[in-house]
Amino acid sequence: MAESGTLQELQFFSMVSLRVDPDSAAARGIECVLESALPGTCGEVSRRGDQVVLWLGPDEWLIVSEPAVADVAARLRVAAGGGHAAIVDVPANRTILELSGPQAREVLEKGCPVDLHPRVLADDTAVLTTLARVPVLLWKVDRTTFRVLPRTSFTSYVSMWLLDAMQEFAA
């Protein structure tokens, strides 16, 4: 499958679900710990080192961190200072499947209703959508790399679907 690219599961990332009023003092404290502003619009992603914040809704974000970033949820709870915020460590909630290669977009287009063309979906953009009728968070890292984050219970189905969709482009 060298022509169609590669599919791999990225492991050992931490994930934190964050719900907070973006105009609150708690959000400002959280932004200080994240060392970046919370993304404010659909699809927006903010990045600081090994930590990425993906916009899920007007008051909801998913913070994805490489293993080197420890105790993200605990640090955010302290930063929220008693303000109204839901900060939940959810590492087992989603799986990260990385599809990369020159045909990655075409593979995803077989089962994703979002327009994945670069003029519509820019690099480093994340959107909630479906893939093969399964709700996923789709993160376009760059022109040839996409990260698909299905709920863990759908990982096997989504993986098998992606492998099947890649067959058309196999050498």
Q: Residue 170 pLDDT more than 90?
A: no
Which DSSP string do the residues of the chain spell out, in sequence order?
-TTT-EEEEE-S-EEEEEEE-TTSHHHHHHHHHHTSPPP-STT-EEEETTEEEEEEETTEEEEEE-TTS--HHHHHHHHHTTSSEEEEE-TTTB-EEEEESTTHHHHHHTT--S--STTTS-SSEEEEEEETTEEEEEEEEETTEEEEEEBGGGHHHHHHHHHHHHGGG--
Confidence of residue 49 (pLDDT cuts 50, 70, 90): confident
Q: Residue 76 pLDDT more than 60?
A: yes
State the average pLDDT over residues 54-63.
97
Q: Residue 23 pLDDT more than 60?
A: yes
Task: State which fold the 14-89 domain adopts.
Answer: Alpha-Beta Plaits (3.30.70)
**Chain centroid to CA 149: how far?**
6
Q: Residue 69 pLDDT more than 80?
A: no
Which of 2-6, 68-72, 130-134 has the lowest average pLDDT? 2-6
Domain boundaries, the chain: 6-10+93-169, 14-89
pLDDT in tens, 77-127: 999 998 999 999 998 899 999 999 999 999 999 999 999 999 999 999 999
Average pLDDT, the chain: 94
pLDDT in tens, 128-153: 999 999 999 999 999 999 999 999 99
Which of 12-26, 65-79, 134-148 has the lowest average pLDDT? 65-79
Domains 6-10+93-169 and 14-89 fall in the same CATH topology: no
pTM higher than the cut 0.95: no
For 6-10+93-169, CATH gives 3.30.1360.120
- Please give the pLDDT value at position 169: 87
Beta bridge partners of 50: none
